[in-house]
Amino acid sequence: MAATASSKPARGDEGDSAREKLPLKPQVVRIEVLGDEKVGKTSLICSLVSRHFSEKVPSVLLNVQIPAEESDENVIISITDTSSRVSDLMRVTNAAKRSDAILLVYDLTRPETFQRLRRWLDFIAKNKEIPVVLVANKVDINAVTPTTDGPYASQVRHLVNTYPFVVSEVECSAKNFTQVAQAFFLAQKAVLYPVAPLYNEKKRQLQPKCLKAIKRTFRLYNRDRSGILSREELNKYQYDCFGVRLLSTEIDTLMEYLSSEVPSGVAPDRSGLFVDGFIYLWWLFIDRNRPESGWQVLRSLGYNNDLHLEIPPERLQLPPYGDDQSAQLTPQAVEFLTNLFRQFDANKDNNIAENEVEAIFSICEDESAPWTTCSAISSPLLYERTMVDGKPTLSLAVWLACWSFVAQENPQKLLETLFYLGYNDKLFPAIEFVKSRSLTRKAMRIDRNLVSCYIFGSPGSGKEHFLRAFVGGKEAPVADDDQFILRGIGAVPDRDTTKYLFVSGVVCGQCGRYLVDCDECVACIEQITEALSDEEIEMKADVLLLMLNPEDEPSKVFVEELDKKLPASIPRVVISYKPEKHNEDVEIDVDESTALVNEEPVDFAIDATLKQYLTSLKCYEAHCVKDEVARALVATALRPYVVVCLVYTGWCLSLIHVFLFT
């Protein structure tokens, strides 16, 4: 699935100047000190703050704050001392609920204080499970039951295993300051660099969200899209995230070690790391209790403590635009998406399979293609799938067509997804807004990449058949629900370029069905035109498609009446369409000579009907939908003053271009 390596990153990739530095913001870490009476809670706090031990200390200290300037992590440490008296239980409970971490202190010289730890831990679990550090105080006294070995140590391990929020334990002495600072540091570390979101300690596995973030990090720094994080890219990652570069000998040592531990994670010539090797490197640091390294990387990329990527608001901000304007991809965004497509095109056949599409979006929040989630309408977007080795695939043209749909339908969703995938719109904008439809309808030529077409026809006109034929026929689902709205998009050649045509029915605001499938709307054309105003179709449609079935008289009347009511400013194409002609499951056994005799009067009548419309076409063959109708729709939308009259003469199709000048 790796593309051919190129030393030059594509425009729009996250580059040197694009990497956003999101330093950890100063915050307050609230630590509560709990434990039995006279275990040394207050003495520990005094020793930390004053570096002085006194035999006489207050029973309970007021809240103590250590300023951010005195912390290597640039955080304020707020320490709350607590009383062990029953009368103060409510105050202790409220303090625990406000705290971020707890130091649970016991006295090494008094075994009963250790035995009561379970009661304290149950109290914490009942109120708020937050990181707890077990602190064995008075290690300076020759304790009878040390925690470092013997049965006492096994009891400590049992507590750690029983209460998952117990993150560590430490022995200290308030009197001679032994590991006092370490105890508070461990509590601070548990808050700033929590292990649980990254790692399942019981299973010794990375958490799914963490794994996704690691893969995204690999993707961002693998700028040549080779699938191998080269030595240069690895050093760039090291410098961006940790501020230092690795020596060549250090990289050699790293490659040698990883080759022995995870052979599949290192390139055969040791020129770089595959994603498995990169993941193992993360696992190794976290497993060895170095979560701060991982968090330093994640926070520099914008992840919060829940491993949710916080996208800077300015990266999702859209420029002012009118209701009748739509967004389209910029050339730089198209180049980025094309390179992304080729990176995952394993066979290099200009098609990607569904599992490869899933791999592309596996690093995103919802792990799904944006065109499946960007619309308020729940019905899926249909597009052509090419069968390769018996499996459906997307061509590059269809891939870009789907992205063009997202740009128009939900430009913010587009920017969000591109941010996840590593596009840097600070260097090159991803979208641009085309000129207002109301201003360009009278132009000789309209410049836009995606054409929006709304389709109209009576219930028997064959709208569903037409849309299925447009996106490849067999692959499109059947509308078995009254509220299922077929929508399709495809790539259409137009002169020397490729345009994208989006075809959709118009939804009735009351019943949710196709506008013209609603009984009330069909009964009265006036209600359709009123609904059109409500849907603001004049601001969203580039061209209209009116369909009639030559063998269904009501469909012809419907088109004639609707054509009079629709806004004259919107160009339209009228087609005569026989849905049964495109239904491969229907076999018609009819005498050939009889069919020819019966067909002539119908064709003659339809020709007369179609002549009253500026742009019209008979579509009785499957290839006609994509080869002729789609191209006529695009041409009519982009060059509304070039009216294309399409008339069948026997089996030949003639195009007559009539230029109108104002």
For residue range 453-506, list pLDDT tens digits in order. Answer: 988 888 778 888 888 888 876 544 444 444 456 789 999 999 889 999 999 877
> Would the pLDDT of 434 be above 80?
yes
Higher-confidence residue of 387 and 118: namely 118
User: In the β-sheet with 166-171, what is the strand arrangement from edge to edge?
Assistant: 64-66, 76-81, 28-35, 101-107, 132-137, 166-171
Q: Give the pLDDT of residue 268.
A: 92
- Alpha carbons 408 and 324: distance in angstroms, whole number: 11
Note the pLDDT of residue 18: 37
Name residues whose C-beta falls within 8 Å of residue 426's C-beta, 6 or more positions apart in sequence: 18, 315
Instruction: Tell me the one-letter amino acid at 32.
Output: E
The CATH architecture assigned to 441-580+600-638 reads 3-Layer(aba) Sandwich (3.40)
**CB atoms closer than 10 angstroms to residue 246:** 17
Question: What pLDDT was estimated at residue 642?
Answer: 57
The CATH superfamily label for domain 28-192 reads P-loop containing nucleotide triphosphate hydrolases (3.40.50.300)
Structure tokens at 323: 């209701």
Element (H, E) at 342: helix 331-344
- H/E run at residue 114: helix 111-115
Residue with the larger pLDDT of the pair 275 and 523:
275
Name the band, by pLDDT with cuts 50, 70 and 90, for residue 536. low
Mean pLDDT of the chain: 80
Pairing type for strands 572-577 and 543-548 reads parallel
Q: Where are the alpha helices (DSSP H) in 163-290?
A: 180-192, 208-221, 231-242, 248-261, 275-287
The helix/strand count (H/E) of the chain reads as: 24, 24
Describe the strand order of the beta sheet including 391-395 as a list of residue ranges.
Answer: 351-353, 391-395, 386-388
> What pairing do the DSSP bridges indicate for beta strands 487-494 and 497-505?
antiparallel
* pLDDT (tens digit per residue) in 624-642: 888 889 999 999 888 876 5
Neighbours of 160 (CB within 10 A): 17
What CATH number should be reported for the domain whose range is 202-301? 1.10.238.10
Identical fold at 28-192 and 441-580+600-638? yes
| C-alpha span between 492 and 469 (Å, rounded) | 14
Domain residue ranges of the chain, discontinuous segments joined by +? 28-192, 202-301, 313-434, 441-580+600-638
Position 400 scores a pLDDT of 96
Asked if 558 and 548 touch (Cβ cutoff 8 Å), the reply is yes
Residue from 637, 409, 442 nearest 541 by CA: 637
Per-residue pLDDT reduced to its tens digit, 211-270 = 999 999 999 999 888 889 999 999 999 999 888 999 999 999 999 999 999 999 999 999
- Each residue of 559-576: pLDDT tens digit? 888 888 887 888 889 998
Tell me the CB-side half-sphere exposure of residue 201, using CA atoms within 13 A.
18
Confidence of residue 592 (pLDDT cuts 50, 70, 90): very low
Which residue, among 431, 232, 334, 364, has the nearest Cα to 11 in the 3D structure? Answer: 334
Q: Give this prediction's pTM.
A: 0.79
Yes or no: domain 313-434 corresponds to CATH 1.10.238.10: yes
Three-state secondary structure of 378-406: CCCEEECCEEECCEEEEEHHHHHHHHHHH
Euclidean distance between CA atoms 221 and 225, whole angstroms: 9
- 593 pLDDT above the threshold of 80: no
What percent of the chain clears pLDDT 90, i.e. is strictly above it? 33
The C-alpha atoms of residue 104 and residue 112 are separated, in whole angstroms, by 14
